[in-house]
């Protein structure tokens, strides 16, 4: 054997630091004399809602095999991975949240009744196995006790099987005028490659990409309206996010004295998110002063200075993986200046008008943005910032008013902070509001320090107000209503916390 042949691969070198015993006697010793595990057998509340979700998907794809992977770990650096979070379609169709279940796959197999649904995952290995102590990905010593097949079935209400049997299940009766197959795109590269190989062998490659896109589209559109359990979970995330914003206010004195005060604010919210939920629903924006005029400012590396505003866009993701999405713009000193309040009131008026529009019969999703923009344009005209009237700017393809608010006013909210993004335009932007929809209303005004078209008194002020909205049978309501949002209520809120 040559020296080149003896050379270790990069993958193998990751084990160089391991000094794990590999003697049979050690395996026997470590695998013996353990007390019994108590299995979880309580059925999760969400399990009662899965059948309806499955039926909606099954109805769209009769006679086809549907493959919905959870996804796998993503490398952070070398052999360290990011925390696992399942693909949202998988989470919705299984009810599994937290960090369950890496590498799992949900399969809809066509049957006479529509589809039989099976969850394939890596169940707990016996303690007498090498996996128990030697496998850092699945071993109980490394990641804790994984569920057994029976335990997972009891909790989810799903038929469960070992991931070792997935390959046979995917290829059964494939092609030759029998079963076709679809897989969620950009979910798990290894599962997608496996499906691609099966399609190749079964001569099912024609139109495969469009078929998979149709599946992703359907899974997104099913989530456009939330069931009672989902509404409860999002409401819980909003309540926790309210607590997180109170922690932000409590951190303000320390933030003002820190050279990176924005990170003090970010950290205060993040601690609450990890203590009470699964974590952050998305990277927190803690943008003080002129940083608020960078829409997705997540560096959070600047000071929090007296006399300025701080725009915080943040949401706590609960263990079920549903998230809130709230923005509040707070005065660092607890009191708005006259100029700050003037801009803030304009944005608040736009937010209120958007909600009024959402309550009008026949309102379509796109109409919410239009309503907010009418208010924004009117204020910009009043301040002398437009090259024409507000009405002319709104009617013009140039949309001059959008210089100071280039983003949209609303997006759906749920498992993803920008939920249901794969839905068709006619089901999203052009759709009429229906009961069970949850979305944001988040107008803003962004007046950069170097924007010479902005009156000097407003330069450096950035304001966004974002609330989460539920459409009910009787109208659209702010489910984040309890989080203070008017000038006087914010000042009172901050006063109560800071003057304790």
Residue 179's DSSP bridge partners are 174
- E strand segments, 364-450: 438-441, 444-446
CA-based angle 169:172:176, to the nearest 5? 150
Distance, in Å, from the CA atom of 138 to the CA atom of 476, rounded to the nearest integer, reads 45
DSSP 16: T
What integer pLDDT is reported at residue 39 of this predicted model? 81
pLDDT string in tens for the chain (500-residue length):
555 567 888 777 767 777 778 788 998 999 999 999 888 789 999 999 999 999 999 999 999 999 999 999 999 998 899 999 999 999 999 999 988 899 999 999 999 989 999 999 999 999 999 999 989 899 999 999 999 999 999 999 999 999 999 999 999 999 877 899 999 999 999 999 999 999 999 999 999 999 999 999 999 999 999 999 999 999 999 999 999 999 999 999 999 999 999 999 999 999 999 999 999 999 999 999 999 999 999 999 999 999 999 999 999 999 999 999 999 999 999 999 999 999 999 999 999 999 999 999 999 999 999 999 999 999 999 999 999 999 999 999 999 999 999 999 999 999 999 999 999 999 999 999 999 999 999 999 999 999 999 999 999 999 999 999 999 999 999 999 999 999 999 999 999 999 96
Where in the sequence of the chain do the CATH 3.90.230.10 domains occur? 228-498
Q: Which of 408, 424, 66, 361 is nearest to 222 (CA)?
A: 424
Task: For residues 447 and 311, give the distance between their C-alpha atoms in angstroms, rounded to a whole number.
Answer: 13
- Residue 274 has what pLDDT? 97
From CA 485, how far away is CA 468, in angstroms rounded?
12
Asked if 217 contacts 420 with a C-beta cutoff of 8 angstroms, the reply is no
Place of tokens 């029998």: 178
CATH architecture of 39-222: 3-Layer(aba) Sandwich (3.40)
Instruction: Please name which of 359, 350, 275, 327 lies closest in space to residue 480, comparing C-alpha atoms.
Output: 327
CB 331 within 8 A of CB 494: yes
Three-class secondary structure of residue 253 per DSSP: helix
What angle, rounded to 10 degrees, do the helices at 47-60 and 208-222 form?
140
pLDDT of residue 175: 81
E strand intervals along 336-472: 438-441, 444-446, 462-464, 467-472
CATH of the structural domain 228-498, one choice from 3.20.20.70, 3.90.230.10, 3.40.50.970, 3.40.50.300: 3.90.230.10
Using the structure block, give the residue that is written with the tokens 């140039």: 398
> Are 151 and 159 contacting, i.e. CB atoms less than 8 angstroms apart?
no
Q: Are 282 and 297 in contact (CB under 8 A)?
A: no
Phi-psi region of 390 (alpha: psi -120 to 50; beta: other; left: phi over 0): alpha
Cα gap 193→201, rounded to integer Å: 12
Could you tell me whether strands 180-183 and 64-69 are parallel, antiparallel, or unpaired per DSSP bridges?
A: parallel
Q: Which residues contact 129 (CB under 8 A, 6 or more apart)?
A: 31
> Looking at 261-344, which runs of residues are DSSP E strands?
279-280, 285-288, 309-314, 316-317, 326-331
Secondary structure element (H or E) that encloses residue 162, with its range: strand 159-162
What is the predicted pLDDT for the residue at 24?
Answer: 83
CB atoms within 10 A of CB 10: 7
Q: Where in the chain is the domain with CATH 3.40.350.10?
A: 39-222
Copy the structure tokens of residue 428.
């999203």
Q: Which of 221, 227, 233 is nearest to 479 (CA)?
A: 233
Angle (deg, nearest 10), helices 228-250 and 487-498: 60
Count the Cβ atoms, other than its own, within 10 Å of residue 255: 26
Contact criterion met (CB below 8 Å) for 67 and 182: yes
Q: Is 262:288 a contact under the CB 8 Å cutoff? A: yes
Helix (H) or strand (E) holding 478: strand 475-478
* Contact yes or no for 415/223 (Cβ under 8 A): yes
pLDDT of res. 4: 55
């Amino acid at each position: 054997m040559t020296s080149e042949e003896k050379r270790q691969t990069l993958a193998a070198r990751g084990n160089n630091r391991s000094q794990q015993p590999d003697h049979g006697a050690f395996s026997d010793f470590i695998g013996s004399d353990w007390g019994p595990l108590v299995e979880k057998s309580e059925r999760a509340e969400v399990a009662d809602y899965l059948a309806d979700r499955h039926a909606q998907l099954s109805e769209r794809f009769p006679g086809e095999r549907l493959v919905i992977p959870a996804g796998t770990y993503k490398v952070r650096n070398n052999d360290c991975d990011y925390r696992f979070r399942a693909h949202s379609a998988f989470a919705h169709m299984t009810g599994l949240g937290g960090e369950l279940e890496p590498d799992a796959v949900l399969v809809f197999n066509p049957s006479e009744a529509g589809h039989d649904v099976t969850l394939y995952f890596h169940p707990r290995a016996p303690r007498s196995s090498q996996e128990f102590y030697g496998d850092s990905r699945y071993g109980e010593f490394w990641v804790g006790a994984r569920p057994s097949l029976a335990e997972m079935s009891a909790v989810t209400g799903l038929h469960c099987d070992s991931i070792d049997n997935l390959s046979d299940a995917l290829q059964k009766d494939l092609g030759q005028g029998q079963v076709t197959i679809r897989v969620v795109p950009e979910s798990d590269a290894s599962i997608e490659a496996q499906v691609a190989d099966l399609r190749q062998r079964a001569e099912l490659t024609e139109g495969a990409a469009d078929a998979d896109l149709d599946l992703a589209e359907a899974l997104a559109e099913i989530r456009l309206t939330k069931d009672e359990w989902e509404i409860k979970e999002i409401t819980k995330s909003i309540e926790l996010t309210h607590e997180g914003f109170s922690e932000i206010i409590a951190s303000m004195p320390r933030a003002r004295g820190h050279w990176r005060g924005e990170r003090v604010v970010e950290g205060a919210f993040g601690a609450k998110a990890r203590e009470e939920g699964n974590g952050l629903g998305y990277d927190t924006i803690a943008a003080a002063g002129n940083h608020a005029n960078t829409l997705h400012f997540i560096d959070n590396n600047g000071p929090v200075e007296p006399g300025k505003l701080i725009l915080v866009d943040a949401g706590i993701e609960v263990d079920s993986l549903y998230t809130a999405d709230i923005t509040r713009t707070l005065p660092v000193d607890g009191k708005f200046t006259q100029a700050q309040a003037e801009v803030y009131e304009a944005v608040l008026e736009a937010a209120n008008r958007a909600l009024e529009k959402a309550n009008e019969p026949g309102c379509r999703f796109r109409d919410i943005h239009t309503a907010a923009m009418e208010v924004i344009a009117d204020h910009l005209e009043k301040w002398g910032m437009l090259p024409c009237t507000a009405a002319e700017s709104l009617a013009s393809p140039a949309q001059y008013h959008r210089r100071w608010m280039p983003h949209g006013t609303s997006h759906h909210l749920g498992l993803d902070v920008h939920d249901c993004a794969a839905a068709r335009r006619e089901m999203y932007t052009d759709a009429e509001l229906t009961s069970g929809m949850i979305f944001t209303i988040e107008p803003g005004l962004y007046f950069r320090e170097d924007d010479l078209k902005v009156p000097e008194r407003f330069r450096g002020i950035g304001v966004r107000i974002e609330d989460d909205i539920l459409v009910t049978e009787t109208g659209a309501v702010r489910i984040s209503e309890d989080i203070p949002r008017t000038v006087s209520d914010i000042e009172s809120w901050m006063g109560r916390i800071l003057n304790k």
